[in-house]
């Protein structure tokens, strides 16, 4: 069955470039970004992994751990890692799962047989500290993902959890936000003592609590 938002991310054990990982234990109290790659030694994947490595300080600021997956053997990951460091300017600084028997790929529905039964699609799962799936994305093999967008969604999710606000279309960190509909005006007065701009009773805009 397809993994859905709010589901508990399945736990697994796997070999990675940073040793054997027991997924839930490895996540600990962090957020996680689990993402799959169709194949080692492919150009788009190489750029994605290099860029994700560059984003490590941004992930750290948000208490997020990244972990990649490819259905190749661990020994192939090691050779490819050298290419990533050489061509992308940053060595891999997060684990890359070796999943040659498709165990994790099948657990997370990363194989879409009508696209390819041999390689994973580009899946992304954002997982919160309670191990709940908070975002799923599926991209085709030929399109590199926008990892800045993944960070943006994490910023939005963390704001929602902390301040009971939602983020409008094309929101960027620092922009105004919206009081979530489940907060009534009485409670909103306590949460947002500076008030809000009520465009409609259901559209209540406040400055971002985190600027
Ligand atoms: C790539 O990562 O470059 C790629 C992989 C599969 C199909 C097309 C591109």
Cα separation values, 180 from 12, 123, 192, 206, Å: 35, 28, 12, 11
Residue 1 above 90 pLDDT? Answer: no
What is the distance between the alpha carbons of residues 129 and 133, in angstroms, rounded to a whole number? 10
Look up the pTM and report it: 0.96
**Is 45 annotated as catalytic?**
yes
Ligand 1 atom 6: residue of nearest CA: 141
DSSP type of residue 202? T
**For residues 156-178, b (16+ Cβ closer than 10 Å) or e, as one string?**
bbbbeeebbbebeeebeeeeebb
All structural domains of the chain, each given as residue ranges with its CATH number in brackets, are: 13-145 (3.40.30.10), 163-206 (3.30.1020.10)
Q: Kindly state the percentage of the chain with pLDDT values over 70.
A: 100
Neighbours of 18 (CB within 10 A): 14
Q: Taking CB atoms and a 6 Å cutoff, what residues make up the pocket around ligand 1?
A: 38-39, 42-45, 141-142
**pLDDT 10s digits, 2-61:** 999 999 999 999 999 999 999 999 999 999 999 999 999 999 999 999 999 999 999 999
Alpha carbon of 142 to ligand 1 centroid (Å):
5
pLDDT tens, residue by residue, 82-111: 999 999 999 999 999 999 999 999 999 999
Find the catalytic residue in 21, 34, 45, 64.
45
Per-residue pLDDT at 151? 98
């Amino acid at each position: 069955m397809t993994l859905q938002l709010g589901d508990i991310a399945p736990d697994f054990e796997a070999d990675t470039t940073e040793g054997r990982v027991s997924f839930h234990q490895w996540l600990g109290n962090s957020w996680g970004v689990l993402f799959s790659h169709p194949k080692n030694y492919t150009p788009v994947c190489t750029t994605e992994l290099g860029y994700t490595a560059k984003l490590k300080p941004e992930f750290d600021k948000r208490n997020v751990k990244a972990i990649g997956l490819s259905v190749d053997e661990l020994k192939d990951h090691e050779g490819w890692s050298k290419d990533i460091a050489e061509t992308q300017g940053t060595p891999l600084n997060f684990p890359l799962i070796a999943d040659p028997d498709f165990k994790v790929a099948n657990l997370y529905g990363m194989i879409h047989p009508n696209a390819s039964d041999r390689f994973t699609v580009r899946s992304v799962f954002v997982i919160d500290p309670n191990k709940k799936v908070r975002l799923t994305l599926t991209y085709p093999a030929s399109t590199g993902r926008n990892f800045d967008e993944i960070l943006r969604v994490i910023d939005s999710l963390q704001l929602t959890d902390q301040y009971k606000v939602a983020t409008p279309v094309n929101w960027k960190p620092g922009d105004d936000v919206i009081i979530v509909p489940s907060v009534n005006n009485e409670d909103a007065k306590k949460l947002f003592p500076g008030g809000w701009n009520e465009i409609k009773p259901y559209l209540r805009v406040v400055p971002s609590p985190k600027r």
